[in-house]
Amino acid sequence: MPPASTQASTGTTVGADLRLSPGRPGYRRMSFALFAAGVATFALLYSTQALLPAVSAEFGASASAASWTVSAATGALALCVLPLSALSERFGRRALMTVSLVVAVAVGLLVPFAPSLEWLVALRAVQGAALAGVPASAMAYLAEEVRPKALIAAIGLFVAGNSIGGMSGRIVTGWVAQLWGWRAALAAVGLMALVCAVVFRLMLPRARHFVRGSLNPVELARTVRTHLADPLLLRLYVIGALFMTVFGAVYTVIGYRLVEAPFNLPQGVVGSIFLVYLVGTVSSAAAGRLVGRMGRRGALYLAVGTTAGGLLLSLSDGLGAVLLGLVLITAGFFAGHAVASSAVSRTATSGRAQASALYQSAYYLGSSVGGTLGAVAFHAGGWGGTVVLGLVAVLGVVSLTLYGTHAARVRERRLMPVTAAR
C-alpha cells in the first residue's frame, strides 16, 4: 500500500493516519484476534500451574521439582523471544504468530502423554520456545498498526486476553483433573488453545504498515545494545521482571497452600480460585485511563501499593482474606504490566520488535525465576517465605520508580536555565 501522503488520487486525505483506532474498520477484528491469541498463549504457558500438587503426587516430586514444568516453559520463552522477534522483522508479525501458535498447540496435544517428569519438563520447554513468537510479535504489530493514542488500550486488551487465558486454563484444568486426572486436563487446554488459534488466524487483519527488515546479526546486536543503553527502557525491563517474579511465585505456590491445612480444598475448587484473574482483565484494560489521570509513575505506584497490600493480606489463615489478597495481587500485577509494556512500545522509536522482545524476555525470565524461587521459599519457610520474596521484588519496583522520578526532576532542573536563556 502506498504511503498516506501519496493517496490523494484515491480519495484518501493527504497525510491521513491510516492506522487502526476504535471505530475504524478492522480495529474490532484486530482486538478480538489478539485477545484470542492472548488466551491461547497464557492457557498453554501456565497449563500445569494449577496441577502441580497432582503432578507432584504422581511422580513423587517435591514442589520445587514440579515447578519446573512451569519454569521450563517460561524460561524457554524468555530465551527465544528475542531471536523470534528478529524473524518477525523478516517474515512478518502475523505469519510468525500463526506458526508459533500452531507449533505450541501441536506440542500441547502431546504433553498429556509425557511418561515421566523429565519428559514433561522437556515438552513444556519446547512449548514455551514455540509460544515466544506471540508476545515477540504482538506488541510490535500493535505499535505499527494502531494509532499512538489508542495503543495503551489496545495493549491492555491483549494483556486482558492473557489474564482470561490464565484464568480459564487453570479453571478447566482444575475441574477436569478432579474428574479425570491431570493428563485429561492438559488435553482439554490443548483443544481450547486450538480453537483460539483458528479464531486468531481467521480474524487478524493483514498488516498494512509492516516494513520488511533484514536478518543481519550485526544490525540486530546493535539494536539490542541501543535499547539496553537506554536508561528508561532498562528500568522498564527490570520492572516487568520484578512484577512477574511476584506473580510467578504466588501462583506457582498457592495451589500447594490451599490443598493443605487449614484450607484442605479439593483440586476443582483450587482451580476455580483463578477466577480472580477477571480482576486482572479489568485492571489491565483500565491501565490507559490510570496513566491518563495519574501519569505513568503514578500508575506504577498504585500498582505496587495494591500488590504489596495483597501480599500482606494473604498471610491470614482466613480463606476470605487470602482470596482478597489474591485479588489485590492480581489487579496490581496486571495494571503494572500493562503500564510498563505500553511504555516500552511508546519509548522505542526504532527496532520496536526488539524493544518489546527484550521486555518480554525480562518479563518471562521473572516468571521462571519467581516460580522456582517461590517454590523454594515455600519449602523453606511456608507461605510466609513466598510473601517475603514477593515483598522484596515489590521493593525493587518502588526503588526503580523513585529513581526514575528523581532522574526526571534532575533533568528538568538542568534544562530550566537553557530554556530561560532562550
- Kindly list the domain boundaries of the chain, sorted by start residue: 22-210+217-416
Residue 416 confidence (pLDDT): 63
Q: Phi/psi at 24 (nearest 5 deg)?
A: -90, 150
Distances (CA, A) of 411 to 17, 235, 238, 405: 33, 16, 22, 10
* pLDDT tens digits for range 122-151: 999 999 999 998 977 887 788 788 887 777
Length of the chain: 422
C-alpha dihedral, 378 to 384 to 385 to 389, nearest 10°: 120
Written as nine digits, the cell of 26 is: 478492522
Its pTM surpasses 0.75: yes
CATH H-level, domain 22-210+217-416: superfamily: MFS general substrate transporter like domains (1.20.1250.20)
| Residues 374/386, Cβ–Cβ less than 8 Å | yes
Q: What is the pLDDT of residue 4?
A: 43
**CA-based Rg of the chain, rounded to a whole angstrom?**
21
68 vs 125: CA distance, rounded Å:
9
Q: Which pLDDT does position 16 carry in this prediction?
A: 52
Q: Can you give the pLDDT at residue 269?
A: 86
Question: Within 13 Å and on the Cβ side, how many CA atoms surround 131?
Answer: 33
Using 70 as the pLDDT threshold, list the residues of the chain that sit under it. Answer: 1-17, 20-23, 152, 210-211, 213-215, 285, 412, 415-422
CA atoms of 149 and 146, how far apart (whole Å): 8
pLDDT single digits (tens) 160-196? 777 778 788 888 888 999 899 999 999 999 999 999 9
**DSSP for 193-223?**
HHHHHHHHHHHSPPPSS-------HHHHHHH
Residue with cell 482478597: 324
Q: What is the pLDDT of residue 322?
A: 95
Q: Which three cell numbers stand for residue 177?
A: 483433573
